[in-house]
Amino acid sequence: MERAVTSFLQALQTNINNGMPEWREELVIIKQFQDLKPTTFIGSPDPMVADAWVKDMEKIFHALPCTEREKVTFATFTFKDNAQEWWLLTLEKEEIVTWAKFLEIFYAKYFPDLLWEQKASKFIHLKQETMTVTEYESKFTQFAQFATYVIPTKARKVRKFEAGLDAEIKDSLEILKLPTYTEVVDRAYITEKEIKASRSLEPSQKKRFWKRDNRRSSVAPPKRVNTSTTSSGNPGSTNPRDGTIPTCPTCGRTHWG
């Protein structure tokens, strides 16, 4: 790729030196494209690698204004090995001058319809199950692009995400009726943490309650204080038969007899 870019830059510089200033702007743009360090594509058999490369190119094109032809030219500069050979053979058959047309033939080569349908099926049946919310959300985002017809509106996207969540998390979120995808994802993170925290505290709480109950059962009950009165009305006077020293009605002291 570097040799191809160098040759292209040299050709541009020659045109500028020969009095063709219209090339000057394109030379600046190609240098800016290089500075953004685009991903090299060698023709991976993994369709997700091909799709990731396309996303990287489109990210650069958002930051660097390009014409349709420049998008194709700059993107194919990153091709090496099998991808470069495929592109040269393609150019012999037809001239590709728009990004939309390029994507059509690129995906036909590196992301055929059968694989696309498989990814769409995975999205349709996607459930959180043993995954964390983070892992589930990552898969949801990854496969959603292959089945956009399933989530034609933002509201449908929110409900689809909720439907695949763990039952305990889903029940908590459905009550809230959150309107946006971001709010639902954030709340799912929080709910997951709360559930994990409550589960981790249960054993310690049981142990703490067990110790507290044991301490209570080991403490002897307090002795009862007899506050009954005698028939004479003097407080503290009791029947001698119960073993309590009575209060003398004459001197006011407690003694027998």
CB 65 within 8 A of CB 26: no
CB 188 within 8 A of CB 176: no
The encoded tokens of residue 71 equal 């998008």
Q: What is the pLDDT of residue 67?
A: 87
Q: Is the pLDDT of residue 212 over 70?
A: no
For 155, phi then psi, to 5°, come to -65, -40
CB 47 within 8 A of CB 122: no
CB 137 within 8 A of CB 85: no
Q: What is the pLDDT of residue 102?
A: 93
d(CA 237, CA 227): 8
* Strongest mean pLDDT among 174-178, 197-201, 214-218, 247-251: 174-178
Q: Is the pLDDT of residue 127 over 90?
A: yes
Pick the range with the lowest mean pLDDT from 22-26, 27-31, 86-90, 118-122: 22-26
Place of tokens 């559930």: 195
